[in-house]
């Protein structure tokens, strides 16, 4: 009788652990089904912010170009704020699906920028990527 109780207890633990594991996997799969492009963008932004904290002076921004001149861009960030980004045609890499030039960066385009923070809060671009959207 005592051995039967121990056996039942072990089986209940195994079934409970299996059910818990199965439930976790099901929850993960359902969460992935509900990922919208906006939610994915938010997750990538959060990861980018973590990356910024890990590497002082290195930053990553992503948003819509709202103005452009020969040496700088102004980007509207998803939170509504803006960021000025300085670039150099000789040293800033600009890409899209293929190699691109600063003329390919147009007002209204979505871009991602990585570079070095300046004391005034602006950013000096190391790389600008034109996003297809």
Distances (CA, A) of 41 to 37, 45, 97, 105: 6, 6, 19, 20
Report which of residues 76 and 8 the model is more confident about: 76
pTM score, whole prediction: 0.43
pLDDT digits (tens, 9 = 90+) for 14-72: 888 888 877 777 777 766 666 666 776 666 666 555 444 445 556 778 888 999 999 99
| Strand 110-117 relative to strand 72-76, pairing | unpaired
Residue 126's contacts (CB-CB under 8 Å, 6 or more residues apart) are 91, 92, 93, 114, 115, 116
pLDDT of residue 51: 46
Give me the domains of the chain, ranges plus CATH numbers.
57-130 (2.40.50.140)
Q: Kindly report the average pLDDT of the chain as a whole number.
A: 78
Query: Which of 45-49, 71-75, 85-89 is least confident?
Result: 45-49
d(CA 94, CA 81): 23
Residue 77's contacts (CB-CB under 8 Å, 6 or more residues apart) are 61, 62, 63, 83
């Amino acid at each position: 009788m005592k051995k039967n109780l121990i056996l039942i207890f072990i089986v209940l633990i195994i079934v409970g652990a299996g059910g818990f594991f199965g439930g976790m996997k099901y929850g993960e799969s359902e969460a992935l089904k509900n990922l919208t492009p906006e939610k994915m963008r938010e997750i990538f932004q959060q990861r980018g912010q973590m990356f910024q904290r890990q590497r002082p002076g290195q930053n990553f921004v992503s948003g819509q170009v709202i103005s452009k001149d020969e040496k700088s861009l102004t980007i509207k960030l998803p939170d509504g704020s803006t960021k000025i980004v300085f670039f150099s045609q000789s040293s800033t890499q600009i890409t899209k699906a293929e190699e691109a030039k600063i003329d390919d960066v147009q007002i209204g385009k979505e871009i991602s920028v990585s570079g070095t923070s300046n004391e005034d809060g602006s950013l000096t671009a190391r790389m600008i990527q034109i996003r297809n959207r």
